[in-house]
Amino acid sequence: MDSLEAAQAEALLRPYIGVRERDLLRGDATGDGVFIAEGEVVVRVLVQRGRFAVRSLLLEARRVEPLRDVIDALPESVPVYVVPQSVMDGIVGFAIHRGILALGSRGVPLTPSELLGGQAEGKPELLVGLVGLANHDNVGSIFRSAAAFGVRGVLLDDTSCDPLYRKAIRVSVGGALVVPFARSESATAMLDAIEAHGWEPIALTPRGEETFGNLGKACSRRVLLMGTEGEGLPDHVLTRARRVRIDMEPTLDSLNVAVATGIAIYEATQGMRAHARR
């Protein structure tokens, strides 16, 4: 662990400075190929899963002991900056109650083809494809559910938000650091890739001709396509997919998109879990 001198601080801690203001200004991505993870649970996932390289940790002094095992698991080359709470708040621009931040490297993004290719022989698998999901809470929550149910990965169109945005990672409780994802340049390109790799696109829509319960377990490789709550999936996506609805009361409302995705993932992976137990 380094003991910080004032002269070093500004340069070393630059990626952490004004985290919140940057969030507000840019609305997406921390840029520069890095992302910020916050809180003990999320930073544990980041370090222990090892999917992304850790560049540094920034800890409030009393957070060091509870994280001792995590710190010991880091390569020696990764600096751990320890500061008083007041200094931390000053650096990041707001009160970080959890006092634990990490800077991760995004690395080289996966391509949709990499995510869709190379399937294990005969094993049923599920991907989720997001179209137009711009809300970090919803995308974070979807990654959390995807992790909980063993979804193989998430495809994003160009208008969906960044899963490595600080709040999305936090809401995902680390799911965004675990479940692989890849971005397509458009929803059309996403569908092209899905078809080219022989996966079955399943569109969740209130206008679906069949209910989820009737979907059956025949196809072993499915992509569950989700659109926004208001507009839903665009017609040009719906026409290229099998359209399925969640059976609910006809009188009121739709579901929150993160809840609907959770239900759909749960339904679609039940067959997979049954298969795995066989």
- In terms of C-beta density within 10 A (0-12 exposed, 13-18 middle, 19 or more buried), how is residue 268 classed? buried
**Segments of 61-124 assigned E as strands:** 80-83, 100-105
Site map for its own copies, 156-185, x if CB under 8 A?
---------------x-xxx--x-------
Size of the site for its own copies (CB under 8 A): 31
Q: Which window, 22-30, 31-39, 146-154, 219-227, contacts its own copies (CB under 8 A)?
A: 146-154
Q: Which is nearer to its own copies, 112 or 124 (CB)?
A: 124
Q: Which is nearer to its own copies, 142 or 193 (CB)?
A: 142
Of the candidates 125, 194, 128, the residue with the CA atom closest to the CA atom of residue 163: 128
Site map for its own copies, 212-241, x if CB under 8 A?
-x----------------------------
Site for its own copies in 113-142 (CB under 8 A): 141
Position among 133, 147, 176, 241 found at the interface with its own copies (CB under 8 A): 147
Q: Which window, 7-15, 70-78, 194-202, 245-253, contacts its own copies (CB under 8 A)?
A: 245-253
- Compute CA 9 distance to the chain's CA centroid, rounded to the nearest angstrom: 31
Site map for its own copies, 246-275, x if CB under 8 A?
xxxx--xxxxx-xxx-xx--x---x--x--
Site map for its own copies, 74-113, x if CB under 8 A?
----------------------------------------
Position among 79, 150, 180, 234 found at the interface with its own copies (CB under 8 A): 150
Using CB under 8 A as the binding rule, whether residue 153 contacts its own copies is answered as: no
* Residue 103 and residue 36 in contact, taking contact as beta carbons nearer than 8 Å: yes
* Residue 125 and residue 152 in contact, taking contact as beta carbons nearer than 8 Å: yes
d(CA 155, CA 173) in angstroms, rounded, equals 19
Q: Which is nearer to its own copies, 68 or 277 (CB)?
A: 277
Smallest gap from residue 258 Cβ to its own copies (A)? 6
Give SS3 for 277. Answer: helix
Written as six digits, the tokens of 164 are 């490595």
- In terms of C-beta density within 10 A (0-12 exposed, 13-18 middle, 19 or more buried), how is residue 45 classed? buried
Q: What are phi and psi of 124, to 5 degrees?
A: -70, 140
d(CA 89, CA 91) in angstroms, rounded, equals 5
Written as six digits, the tokens of 31 are 């840029």
CB atoms within 10 A of CB 213: 10
Q: Rule CB under 8 A: which residues touch its own copies? A: 45, 141, 144-145, 147-150, 171, 173-175, 178, 213, 246-249, 252-256, 258-260, 262-263, 266, 270, 273
